[in-house]
Amino acid sequence: MDQKSFVQALPIDVKAQLMLRSDAAGLRHLLGHLGLIVVTGSWIGLGLSLWWVLVPIQGVLIVFLFTLEHEATHKTPFASERLNEWVGRLCGFLLLLPFEWFRYFHLAHHRWTNIEGRDPELAGGKPSTLGAWLWHVSGVPYWSAQLRRMQELIMGRAEGDYLPDGAKARIVAQARWMGLGYALVGWSLWHTPLLFWIWILPVMIGQPVLRLYLLAEHGDCPRVANMFLNTRTVFTNPLVQFLAWNMPYHVEHHVFPAVPFYLLPQLHLLMRAELKQTAAGYRAFSAEYLRRRR
């Protein structure tokens, strides 16, 4: 069975229920996620006992806002379209990932998932050796690529065959607003290092965890069009599910992307017999990925 056949086979009332977006569900989850960031950041900022232990934890909490920005490109975390847009932009600012640009990049990824030459996520390739894996997981390639992209967008160069001509002006304008925001952050660092300790350093330390998480979504999956084969669902613990906004149910998300995060567990129950690509946790996936490289 492919994704189209699966979705078509669902009863109409079931599909309608699965696509029900909710501001209440989205805001509850967002307040929980941001609450953890605020509490941890406050502990670090106040220099309380063992504050330095919380710096990498703060980093993981912030970088996993990527999964929220990712879902906001589908306009599904909240019923309010305006809320989806502004939350996506905020997450993008924190992660050096301009939301307007990322929307079209990610939708092209969904349209051409794991298809060589079409899926923009494959442009940089997947790490094929232990050394390449270590470099990829370090996060350095991500930050350098995003800094180059921000520079290009600020200079008015919005390139990529997945970017509609009508959207390029918006993409450039948002990047320039982000650049102004980063300039203000740089100015503030001359007066206090607070943002460095509660945001900049944490996201640099936390980025490797996000790289490991993202590699499991499609890494070593067949380069075919069938979402049941080119995408992987990872069975993990409730904390990771919470931080990742249920996106470890990734086959489910790709097969039926109109389903909001809070209903993905229900979709999983309907789909689990069809799953072909799964992993029993991120540690197990990484160990198997590296075993193949050896």
Reference 163, options 106, 121, 124, 125; nearest CA is 106
For residue 124, pLDDT beyond 90: no
The answer to whether the CB of 67 falls within 8 A of the CB of 245 is: yes
- CB within 8 A of 26, min separation 6: which ones? 77, 78, 79, 83, 260, 261, 262
pLDDT of residue 101: 98
Checking 126-131 for CB contacts under 8 A at 24+ apart, the result is 126/215, 126/219, 126/220, 127/215, 127/293, 128/293, 129/293, 130/290, 130/293, 130/294
The answer to whether the CB of 73 falls within 8 A of the CB of 107 is: yes
What distance lies between CA 149 and its chain's CA centroid?
Answer: 17
Find the angle CA(130)-CA(96)-CA(27) to the nearest 5 degrees.
110
- The C-alpha atoms of residue 88 and residue 30 are separated, in whole angstroms, by 12
pLDDT of residue 2: 84
pLDDT of residue 4: 87
DSSP characters for 132-148? HHHHHHHSHHHHHHHHH
Q: Would you say how long the chain is, in residues?
A: 294
The per-residue pLDDT for range 146-196, each reduced to its tens digit, is 999 999 999 999 999 999 999 999 999 999 999 999 999 999 999 999 999
Q: Tell me what the pLDDT averaged over the chain comes to.
A: 96
pLDDT of residue 242: 98
The answer to whether the CB of 198 falls within 8 A of the CB of 137 is: no
pLDDT of residue 33: 98
Q: Which residues pair with 233 in a beta bridge?
A: 278
The per-residue pLDDT for range 240-290, each reduced to its tens digit, is 999 999 999 999 999 999 999 999 999 999 999 999 999 999 999 999 999
Mean pLDDT of 140-148: 96
The answer to whether the CB of 261 falls within 8 A of the CB of 246 is: yes
pLDDT of residue 62: 98
